[in-house]
Amino acid sequence: MIRTALTICLLVLMPAAFTAVRAETFEAANIPSLVASLRFEEPLYFCGEKVPLDFPEVRERLEKEMLLTLHDRPQVILWIKRANRYFPIIESMLAEEGLPDDLKYIAVIESALRPHVGSPKGAIGFWQFMQGTGRLYGLTIDTNLDERRNIFKSTRAAIEYFKQLNEHFGSWTLAAAAFNMGEEGLKSEILLQKTENYYQLYLSLETRRYVPRAVSAKLILTNPSAYGFILKPEELYSQLTFDRVTLQCDQTIPIQLVAAAADTYFKRIKELNPELRGYFLNEGQHTLLIPPGRASQFHERYDRLVDTWLEDSGKMVYEIQPGDNLSVIAARFNVPLPALLIWNGLNPHKPIHPGDMLVIYTDKALEESDER
């Protein structure tokens, strides 16, 4: 009886097992060998400038980057999926300014097209701007906004920076190198080494890899099926669709009110506007993205919600007294400590001082927020 039962189970499971094996075999059959992936169709160009594959060291560098990139197939799949979302925006902005389309691959190797990614050195966003460079090219970076995470504004800043670098160095390849290592650093190396050829400069390992990495991304993303990445259109991440609205905030306003006025949820507003930090819009003018089709009557709904919130929020200002700490204050007013920190933009590890003012919302305010 036991042997019969086992036989039946095997007969039931075998077709599914064979199907899985056939699928894996079919997928493997469509992946070219790594050696075949290194047979480049020459000539190759980056931003219209020829990649000198006749230099053995340059070919070796490019082959290394191709192998490393193709080894991480899950990452490449995510590149392809995200490219469908963000490339149309970047391509349009580059074309509008007359810049080479290949510069979009810099965003791929810098951030893998992720808005929130950061580096140990403090670079953040699609183009991995440092704070100083980002601010120099017009990006707002403070406790409320970090526009390095905004695809439109960060790409505009990158375009202006690339323009300036290309004008100075006279080469898009050198402009890319300077984008990676810094303008002054590249100037010094050119001066010391007496050459303006990127491929002949002895630079840091990261910068020597930089353009070959971008060329590798270009080769794969231009023709992914040639490297065994065969995705259906419906498997790609959808392009960004949205309405734009402009708000004038006379005081700090919860982002949740924007979400309610757009008939959506807080998380969706944060996803469409990754530059927003925290839970509130600061005083001033804000241009935000909301889900498509929600702009009609948005301002009427928003004004009504803000008026109601101002009337019912129970907002009060408390002056910190000697002996107070945040936990004591939170308990005294029966509010969650994390909410108190968020309302006032406080760091729990930094001291508060008598005479400082805190914004506190009463229980009624919390109830109204939960209902919304």
Of 235, 267, 295, which residue constitutes the final position of a domain?
235
What is residue 243's three-state secondary structure?
strand
User: Do 195 and 321 share a domain, yes or no?
Assistant: no
CATH of the domain at 270: 3.10.350.10
For the packed helices 172-181 and 183-193, what is the interaxial angle rounded to 10 degrees? 120
* Residue at 57 is within a domain: yes
Query: Token pair of 258, please?
Result: 């924007």
The whole-number pLDDT of residue 21 equals 46
* Residue at 115 is within a domain: yes
* Residue at 16 is within a domain: no
User: Do 231 and 307 share a domain, yes or no?
Assistant: no
Residue 78 burial (10 A CB sphere; 0-12, 13-18, 19+): middle
Q: Residue-wise pLDDT tens for the chain (372 aa)?
A: 555 555 555 455 555 545 444 444 445 567 888 888 888 888 999 999 999 999 999 999 999 999 999 999 999 999 999 999 999 999 999 999 999 999 999 999 999 999 999 999 999 999 999 999 999 999 999 988 999 999 999 999 999 999 999 999 999 999 999 999 999 999 999 999 999 999 999 999 999 999 999 999 999 999 999 999 999 999 999 999 999 999 998 888 889 999 999 999 999 999 999 999 988 888 899 999 999 999 999 999 999 998 888 776 666 777 888 888 888 888 878 888 888 888 788 888 888 888 888 878 765 544 444 444
* Residue at 32 is within a domain: no
| Cα(269)–Cα(255) distance, integer angstroms | 8
Cβ–Cβ under 8 Å, residues 217 and 87: no
User: Do 44 and 155 share a domain, yes or no?
Assistant: yes
Q: Which of 313, 309, 331, 219 is nearest to 261 (CA)?
A: 309
Q: Which helix (H) or strand (E) holds 294?
A: none
User: Do 45 and 188 share a domain, yes or no?
Assistant: yes
| Cα(89)–Cα(69) distance, integer angstroms | 24
Long-range contacts of 334-343 (CB under 8 A, 24+ apart): 334/363, 335/360, 335/361, 335/362, 335/363, 335/366, 339/366, 342/278, 342/279, 342/280
Of 235, 259, 279, which residue constitutes the final position of a domain?
235
CATH of the domain at 208: 1.10.530.10
User: Do 316 and 197 share a domain, yes or no?
Assistant: no
Q: CA triplet 134, 116, 74: central angle to 5 degrees? A: 125
User: Do 53 and 157 share a domain, yes or no?
Assistant: yes
Domain range enclosing 47 = 40-235
Contacts of 169 (CB under 8 A, 6+ apart): 175, 178, 186, 196
Of 185, 218, 235, which residue constitutes the final position of a domain?
235
Residue 143 burial (10 A CB sphere; 0-12, 13-18, 19+): exposed
